Structure 1
Amino acid sequence: MMSIYSLCSVLSLSTMPSTQASARHTAGLQIQVAESLSTLTSSVLSRHVSDSQTTTLPLGRTLGYAIYGSPAGRPLFYVHGYPSSRLEAYALEPIALQHDILVVAPDRPGYGLSSPCETRRIIDFPADVRALADHLDIARFAVLGVSGGGPYALACADELPPGMLSAVGLLASARPWEAGRSNNTLWRRAFAMGTIHVPWLIRGVLDALVGLLKWASRQVQQQVDERKTGDAPTKAAKPRDQMSSPQQSRARLLRMFFEAFTQGSGETVREGRLLQHPLGINFSDVSYQKVQIWHGSEDKQSPIENIRWMAKQLPHSELKEFKENGHFSMGEKLEQILEELMSDDRKRK
């Protein structure tokens, strides 16, 4: 689950003092990230996944989307975090294959391959989902909104016909504006106010940060290759289709970081403003049964108190709290959550 905060965390590794020792330390940490990603995904990197598809919406906008998992599986629309893109859903690929799930992950407007829409609202997103489902000839599907995608999944529960939805889930969801902001961190308050009052400044800072990360990644690329190609093999060679080259793992990692900013940082600022206003949803009118919510009790990005408030406003919701987890560590529960969400899908058939 990518967010502006995780991006800044990575950037902080790239902006340490430029002594030789600290540079080595920074590069080593980033190499470990790349190698961990390679280990986790090597079994599926050789598969063909359709991660750069587009369709034209009724009003003429382009909608980008990715498809992962089992082609004939039970359909799940994955709503990515903030700021992120369809490529975030790649993390579901091995789980989706194992559990016979077809993952469809659209880019929201202005991210990745999707055309921007300056007048868009959160409650407009379900129309894009419905158009994409029609394009793919999918009549019924589950929806999972992750982090900043949570409010959009809730909008789907509110706007789409109940018979079209087999399950709706929110994982580590962003809190709704209506739940209050009194427990915001100073950094989050500053960023939120900046997107409203000085958007040009936030765009400039984000563009500079993304540019810096791209520069830093180029410094690490050669070291990633050297470490991977220079290590002596300690185990029997794997079949070619089970191997991940340094170039493959590096490219996958970097695409995940940068795809959200393919069209610049304007959409990050625009969506930041959207999330600082009412969602446009009357919670008590959401009749879909039931909206499932999974959230960490230690979440500092989206405090559990705000999510409890939201769950109480929804007439048909189920909140499951994970006492030891924060915002980002909820990713460890992804397989369990998918199993629970899609088991609800089975019950409705």
Structure 2
Amino acid sequence: MRDTTVELHGREVAYTDIGDPDGTPVLFFHGAPMSRRNLGDQHTEFAEAGLRVLTPDRPGYGGSAPAPGRTLTDWADDMAAFADALGLDRFLVAAHSSGGPYGVVTAALLPDRVRGTVVLGGVTDFAWAPAWEGYSPDECAMMRLPDEKAALEWGERNLGEGPSEWPEPDRKLFATRHVPHLAASAKEAFAQGVGGYTQDAWVQGRPWTFDPTAVAASFLVAHGDQDTVVPLVHATHTAGLVPGTELRMLPDHGHVTVLWELPGMLTELRERR
């Protein structure tokens, strides 16, 4: 795994580069609280699939500099600059959990560069009222605060350690060799404190201000059928926003186990016209 940085718009962005260095490029957007190291132990699987997976930390996470006042749509500009800096013309996009909206906005605002997108267990637009139902009460409280400053203050006082109960497939996963890797990735998310995560959660609660119908390439929304972290209605709602979306339920999967389906799904997307 290559773990390095690049400067974008005057800010340092940390990212990892795994898989086949000559393979099809993929930009992966991690969940929250996670970091660029989220997929580190899948290097071999991605390499065998001929995929080069690049995972940037979002602002304030891990090794990426904060970006006060950022918006969701700013991410597409960042990813265009990121791809330019790495010499990438077109690429696939994959996103997980709270990274989901970042996958949608990138596909919508960079339609000439995104070859296809897969969103796994992703959250949807919280302007849709049912999105709040069944979602984490703590995150909902943070997302409903009036501004970033209030969210940061709340996070410093109240931030917990993630869901208290995980779906059964995830609990089984956490009992395997993957535990140290995932725990280290989550710990790295807080390398600069709670600011990256609290800003991310607050931005997540803002209405989407872009047009999802602008997505031009294949779009796949996949969700574990036992996911209790992000409600299934998030997947169905996002699928309804993007024309031509394929909605796929993954049997016997929770919220985290779906990540091991990525090599196969990305290979599918690469082969589609």
TM band (smaller chain): 0.7 to 0.9
- What is the alpha-carbon distance in structure 2 between the residues aligned to residue 134 and residue 185 of structure 1? 37
Root mean square deviation of aligned Cα: 2.5
Q: Which one of 73, 76, 81 corresponds to residue 23 of structure 2?
A: 73
The aligned counterpart of 1:173 is: 122
Q: Counterpart of 1:86 in 2: which secondary structure?
A: coil
Deviations 1:136-193 (A, max 9, x none): 111111010111111101011111133x122111011122213322333544434544
Q: Structure 1, residues 299-342: CA drift from partner, whole Å, max 9, x if none?
A: 222211232122112112111012443323323xx23x432322
Deviations 1:94-146 (A, max 9, x none): 21122111111111111111110011111111211111211111111101011
Aligned match of 1:259: 188
Q: TM-score scaled by structure 1?
A: 0.66
User: 1:262 & 1:199 partners in 2: Cα distance?
Assistant: 15
Larger proportion of strand: 2
Shift of 1:87: 0.7
Q: Are the structure 2 counterparts of residues 188 and 73 from structure 1 closer, same or farther at C-alpha, using a change threshold of 3 Å?
A: same
Q: How does 1:325-344 map to 2 (within 5 A)?
A: 325-331=253-259, 334-335=260-261, 337-344=262-269
Question: In structure 1, how many angstroms separate the alpha carbons of the residues matched to 2:12 and 2:93?
Answer: 21
Alignment of 1:148-297 (within 5 A): 148-162=98-112, 164-180=113-129, 181-193=132-144, 199-206=152-159, 255-283=184-212, 285-297=213-225
- Distance in 2 (CA, whole Å) between partners of 1:78 and 1:186 is 27
Quote the residue 1:144 is aligned against: 94
Within 5 Å, give how 1:33-52 maps onto structure 2.
49-51=1-3
Q: What is the identity, as a one-letter code, of the residue corresponding to 2:57?
A: D
Does 2:254 correspond to 1:303? no
Task: Report the AA paired with residue 168 of structure 1.
Answer: T
1:172–1:296 contact (8 Å) kept in structure 2: yes
Question: TM-score under structure 2 normalisation?
Answer: 0.83
CA distance 1:253–1:325, change in 2 (3 Å): closer
Alpha carbons 1:175, 1:303 under 8 Å: kept: no
Aligned AA (1:140): R
Say if 1:344 and 1:254 are closer, same or farther in 2 by CA, change over 3 A. closer
Higher relative contact order (CA 8 A, sep 6+): 2
1:289 and 1:317 in contact (8 A); partners too? no
Distance 1:317-1:198 versus aligned 2 partners, 3 A rule: closer
In the alignment, structure 2 segments of 5+ residues that lack a partner are 163-176
Higher-Rg structure is: 1
Q: Residue 62 of structure 1: CA displacement?
A: 0.9
Q: Percent identity?
A: 26
What secondary structure sits across from 1:327 in the alignment?
Answer: coil
Contact 1:194 1:202 in 2 (8 A): no
